[in-house]
A and B are shown apart, each in its own frame.
Chain A
Amino acid sequence: MNRLHVDWTACDGRGLCAELLPELLVEDDWGYPAPRGDMSVPPALEPAARQAVDRCPALALRLTAPASS
C-alpha cells in the first residue's frame, strides 16, 4: 500500500487535503492535517489520495511507494 507523506516544511495548513481525504486526515485547530492512522492508503482511497496530492497548493503532499517507506 502506498503511504501519504506530508512535507511539514512546505505545508501551509490550507486544509484542502483533509477535505478531500477525511478518511485519512483530520484537521487540527490551525487547519493543519493530522493523520488518523498510519497514513497508508487503501486501494479504494488511492484516487482520492492522488487528487489530494494534485490539489495541494503548497505541493506538500506525496504518495510514497511501500518499498521506500
Chain B
Amino acid sequence: MTDALWYFGRGSGVVSLVLLTVVVALGVGARSGRTAFGLPAFAVNLVHRNAALLAVVFLVGHVVSLFFDPYAQLRVFDLVLPFAGNYRPLWQGLGTLAFDLVLAIVATSLLRHRLGARTWRLVHWLAYLSWPTALLHGLGTGSDNGAVWLWSISALCTATVLAAVVWRLTPGFGRFPQRAPRQVNPRLLPTRTRPAEAGTLEEAR
C-alpha cells in the first residue's frame, strides 16, 4: 500500500510535468498568431486550458499521495511553503514553489473576467518561472533522479518548449500573421455584399 502511494506519487509527478509542458508550449506558440498543426485558434486555446486543468488534477494527486507516503515525510506546510522540507529542501522546495505558481496562474485564469486583463496577464507571466522550476524539481528530488527514462522525458519536455519558443521567434510571425486555413460551412463564408441593415460597418476598403 505504501509502495502504491510512492508509485502513484512519482507517476503523477511525471504526468503533470508532461501536461504542463504541453500547456506552456501551446501558450508560447499561441501568442505567435499562427496556430499549431493547422488547428483553429479556439481549439488550441481550449487544449491549453483543459490540459492546464488536468495538470492541476494530477498535481493534487501527486501532492496528496506523497503527503501520505511514509518515506517522503511531508508536513502540511511543505505543500505550500517552499524550501522548509527536511529532505532535499531545495529540490522539494522547487516543487512547492512551482505548485504555488501553478495554482496562482490557474486561479487567476478562472477569475480572469473579474480581475481584468492586466492583473491576469501579470500573473500569467509566472508560467515562464513555474515550468522550469517544476522541471528542476522533477529531476532533482525524485527517486528516479538518475534514471535514463526520467532524463529522457525531461529532455523531450525541454525540447518541446524550446521548439515553441524558437518557432515563435522566427521572423515569419509579423503583427498580422496568416490565418490558419480552416473548414467553414460555405453558407457562413464572408459575403461580398453585407446586409444593408448592418449600418454599423463602414466599407472603408
Closest B-chain residue to A26, C-beta based? B190
Stretch from B136-144, B156-164, B192-200 contacting the other chain: B192-200
CB nearest neighbor in B for A57: B45
Judge whether A42 is part of the interface by a CB distance below 8 angstroms. Answer: no
Query: Given A14-B33, A35-B201, is A19 in contact with B117 using a C-beta cutoff of 8 Å?
Result: no
Instruction: Pick the residue among B45, B176, B188 that contacts A30 (CB under 8 A).
Output: B176
CA distance A16 to B176 in the complex (A): 14
| Least Cβ–Cβ distance between B5 and chain A, in angstroms | 37
Give the nearest-CB partner of A14 in chain B.
Answer: B41
The answer to whether A38 touches B198, judged by C-beta atoms less than 8 angstroms apart, is: yes
Residues on the A chain within 8 Å of B40, using CB: 19
Interface size on A, residues (CB 8 A): 24
Q: How large is the interface on B (under 10, 10 to 19, 20 to 34, 35 or more residues)?
A: 20 to 34
Contacts of B113 in A (CB 8 A): 54, 59
Q: Which of B24-71 contact A (CB under 8 A)?
A: 30, 33, 40-42, 45-46
| A-B pairs with lowest CB-CB distance, top 6 | A22-B188, A26-B190, A59-B117, A16-B42, A19-B40, A19-B42
Could you list which residues of chain B lie within 8 angstroms of chain A, going by C-beta atoms? 30, 33, 40-42, 45-46, 112-113, 116-117, 120, 176-177, 179, 182, 184-185, 188, 190-191, 194-195, 197-201
- List 20 A-B residue pairs with CB atoms under 8 Å apart, sorted by A's residue number: A10-B117, A13-B176, A14-B33, A14-B41, A19-B41, A22-B184, A22-B185, A22-B188, A23-B188, A26-B190, A27-B190, A31-B179, A34-B201, A36-B195, A38-B197, A38-B200, A39-B200, A55-B42, A55-B46, A59-B120
